Structure 1
């Protein structure tokens, strides 16, 4: 199968490299020219796993304007929410009606944008509980042992077809550990709720997931955010994959066992003075709640705190 990965950042590279190593043809498209140029110069991307065994993995990488191939079976999108609209417009010349789309982006908002370019019957979206760090142009670190991490995914139509099952099979061969569901909104919202706890709190206090989970009141903080998020989802008619307790158990397992040394992606953005995706995570829950006359006060408070932290860092830079 041939995959084109749009967004060769941390997650795009992890998916693409693992799919390539599983025997698929993979090409990458990215808009960050220093990153693209470094990979071209090196003949690939340097990969480490938990900061060890640095080695070069050959990859084919292009800018959106350079890439003209239209023969991909599946396009994989891994970008920041605020980057997607521009990237879709820059890449539309290689989209075809027959291509399937797979995405595991953080936050919410990307599905609506993707549906402007692709038919819903060919859209597969999921949530990735996988930690990866883009260390520098041309350098990526896969966090966790081989086979670490997992993802849930679902068809937009909630009716998996033959191609969907083929995609899931290739993800399984690549040790991405996919689970196919028939609950589209519930699948996506599970990761939004997870990120609204771990990403946001770890970012504000500049701590790893393990450091957060070790705090004696962590469960109390997590449940306050989970309960408020689930209250929003219930009012919006979203059937969640997990119970509230199961969502807390997931937060604890990933934080304590799977990735205790990991700084979430929101922290990585904040630490490099890049805009965060908080408006697409906690802020999304706030906006969704208001549609149903419910105020998610705690999520609103945290959203504003993240923006205050962003503002403070920017002022110090100036």
Structure 2
């Protein structure tokens, strides 16, 4: 069985490294030349809270793909949301023609965008609940011990042999479960992404600090409650992710049981420690394009579609768009959102 992972950053690196170490035939496809050369020379190191793991996956720079006569049984799409279409189109030429399939390993709700290119029948989704990063060539870092780490789902909610097989494979990376509700799981994860990612990028706070610090926590509750309301209006089931209850978010945003939820979020932040930064914050640090249009911006867009107001998500999008791509994180960027709290 041959597996390609398009995108060898934090998530792609952790998944690819651990699967390669477990004996799977893994090929990492990326455009980060130094990273690929380091892996080719010395192997890929995956750092976790349990230790370091060295593996020797194959690597291909995207410029070398045209010279390859290969067909993969599975292709994992683990690139930034804004790269979904062109990477899916590129990798489509390298899938095994009969039973091969793609798996979406992204934040946001990009499954249909991928499926529109590779075909819905060839598309599965993977909901990621772990944190990961790649700060230097040849190293990928998993920043937590979240469990379950992954959830696998077919787009139509069916239970298939290939989905079960993928669960079996991904258990070598972290505890993996099968879900029958891809869209509910996606929107549930979107709640946690929208509560933390852009806030961390704006302020410089880490994954834990956006929950332990007062103002980011309060803003996050408002952001998350808006996502939950939009998801419900769209008809999706929503679930607790990372200890965050959607119903509790909605109640707290309306002034009910606020202290209880804040204490819960603060405690979960303390347990998480300070190892990681959301991918959005990593992009800001590197001066790269961010995913605001596919996270909070997507919520604002869908909110307008179903008639749900999303003032906090609208405002955070406005702030980030106003700053442009290459800005420095600073707590002062949160001031317009803090004013909206009226405290």
Shift of 1:58: 1.6
Q: Residue in 2 aligned with 1:310?
A: 324
- Where do 5+ consecutive residues of structure 1 fail to align? none
1:293 to 280, 283, 307: 307
Task: List per-residue Cα deviations over 1:2-47 (Å, max 9, x = no partner).
Answer: 311111111101111111222322111112333323333x242244
Q: Residue in 2 aligned with 1:63?
A: 61
The verdict on how the C-alpha distance between 1:155 and 1:280 changes in structure 2, with shifts beyond 3 A counting, is: same
Q: Whole-Å Cα distance in 2 between the matches of residues 191 and 69 of structure 1?
A: 37
Shift of 1:312: 6.5
8 Å CA contact retained: 1:107, 1:280? yes
The verdict on how the C-alpha distance between 1:312 and 1:45 changes in structure 2, with shifts beyond 3 A counting, is: closer
The verdict on how the C-alpha distance between 1:264 and 1:167 changes in structure 2, with shifts beyond 3 A counting, is: same
Q: Whole-Å Cα distance in 2 between the matches of residues 272 and 76 of structure 1?
A: 24
8 Å CA contact retained: 1:148, 1:258? no
Q: Residue in 2 aligned with 1:80?
A: 80
Q: Residue in 1 aligned with 2:44?
A: 45
Q: Residue in 1 aligned with 2:200?
A: 202
Q: Residue in 1 aligned with 2:103?
A: 102
Q: Residue in 2 aligned with 1:226?
A: 224
Q: Whole-Å Cα distance in 2 between the matches of residues 53 and 163 of structure 1?
A: 31
Q: Residue in 1 aligned with 2:180?
A: 182
Q: Whole-Å Cα distance in 2 between the matches of residues 2 and 276 of structure 1?
A: 31
1:215 to 213, 216, 220: 213
Task: List per-residue Cα deviations over 1:41-74 (Å, max 9, x = no partner).
Answer: x242244336x96675322100234343544221
Q: Whole-Å Cα distance in 1 between the matches of residues 307 and 107 of structure 2?
A: 25
Q: Whole-Å Cα distance in 1 between the matches of residues 286 and 20 of structure 2?
A: 30
The verdict on how the C-alpha distance between 1:265 and 1:19 changes in structure 2, with shifts beyond 3 A counting, is: same
Task: List per-residue Cα deviations over 1:122-157 (Å, max 9, x = no partner).
Answer: 322122111121112323223236x86612231112
Asked whether 1:136 is paired with 2:150, we answer: no
Asked whether 1:7 is paired with 2:7, we answer: yes
Alignment of 1:10-29 (within 5 A): 10-29=10-29
Calculate the TM-score normalised by the size of structure 1: 0.87
The verdict on how the C-alpha distance between 1:138 and 1:31 changes in structure 2, with shifts beyond 3 A counting, is: same
* Cα-Cα RMSD: 2.6
Instruction: Count residues in correspondence.
Output: 309
Q: Residue in 2 aligned with 1:168?
A: 167
Asked whether 1:111 is paired with 2:82, we answer: no
- Where do 5+ consecutive residues of structure 2 fail to align? 250-260, 329-343
8 Å CA contact retained: 1:122, 1:155? no
